[in-house]
Amino acid sequence: MSQLKLAPSILTADFARLGEEIRSVAPYVDWFHLDVMDGHYVDNLTFGPSIVDAVRRSCDLPLHVHLMIEQPAKYVDVFVKAGADRISFHPEVTDDPAGVIDAIGSAGAGAGVAVHPDVGLEQVRAHLEALDVILMMTVRPGFGGQAFLEEVLPKIKEAREIVNQSGRAADIEVDGGVNLDTVGRAVAAGGNSLVAGSALFDGLNAPAAAYRLKERLRELGHD
């Protein structure tokens, strides 16, 4: 198996010390996962492009922006300008997912479809040839710190089969409730990129937690 990737979500980081938090875990992780919420698609509100830009200036790692917003096409350019290397969106918010995927590609970023726990893989199948990442949600979008939804595991397996059969090297990123306990099941189902928010930040020793989770990924990936 190729190297398993760790992508911290900064949702539960201390925003008063954001640069420090980013730099403290950067040596042990592969990407940063930035959760943008608009109070419409989900109840919660988080941040916009200025925080993406702040993370961009705090490290050299690639940034994956997870849009949990309505009208994603409208905001693609501004997030790419702020430093997004990848953008994922929830296709159920639009009548034209292909248009959003095109807009992301034209802006120069990789595109991803985010799959809500209650939504199937139809949009993934329909647009697979244009996707760099499939973001499989193992919590209901909206908040960090929720419990991993075990019932999503068969759908992750199905997504892995779809990707492998296509021969496309899209990442399958598992997002929500990933920690030392759940990560093995997420990887066994076919996830190769793992988001972790509260398992790293949330008042913990973030670099030690990142180091331990990355070590576990090394063991699971045998590399």
**Interaction between residue 35 and Zn ion (CB under 5 A):** yes
Out of 112, 177, 190, 191, name the contact with ligand DX5 by CB under 6 A. 177
Out of 198, 209, 213, 216, name the contact with ligand DX5 by CB under 6 A. 198
Question: 14, 30, 35, 95: which one is catalytic?
Answer: 35
Query: What Å distances lie between residue 81 and 104, 171, 191, 201, CA to CA?
Result: 11, 23, 29, 27
35 an active-site residue?
yes
**Interaction between residue 213 and ligand DX5 (CB under 6 A):** no
Exposed/middle/buried for residue 168 (C-beta within 10 Å: 0-12, 13-18, 19+): middle
| Residue of closest CB approach to ligand DX5 | 197
**Interaction between residue 56 and Zn ion (CB under 5 A):** no
- Fill in the DSSP letter of residue 33: E
Out of 72, 141, 190, 191, name the contact with ligand DX5 by CB under 6 A. 141
**Interaction between residue 171 and ligand DX5 (CB under 6 A):** no
Token pair listed for 172: 């399958």
Q: What are phi and psi for residue 110, nearest 5 degrees?
A: -80, 150
Q: For 171, what's the count of Cα atoms within 13 Å in the CB-facing half-sphere? A: 26
**Interaction between residue 197 and ligand DX5 (CB under 6 A):** yes
In the beta sheet, which residues pair with residue 88? 66, 112
**Interaction between residue 103 and ligand DX5 (CB under 6 A):** no
Taking alpha carbons only, the member of 181, 174, 187 closest to residue 199 is 181
Interacting span for ligand DX5 (CB under 6 A) from 75-83, 98-106, 120-128, 174-182: 174-182
Min dist CB 26 to ligand DX5, Å, is: 17
**Interaction between residue 173 and ligand DX5 (CB under 6 A):** no
User: CA 21, CA 43: separation in Å to the nearest integer?
Assistant: 26
Residues 197/11, Cβ–Cβ less than 8 Å: yes
102 an active-site residue?
no
Residues 66/88, Cβ–Cβ less than 8 Å: yes
**Interaction between residue 145 and ligand DX5 (CB under 6 A):** yes
Which residues are catalytic, by number? 35, 175
For Zn ion, the binding residues (CB under 5 A) are 35, 66, 175
- The residues that touch ligand DX5, with contacts defined as CB under 6 A, are 9, 11-12, 33, 35, 66, 139, 141-142, 144-146, 175-178, 195-199
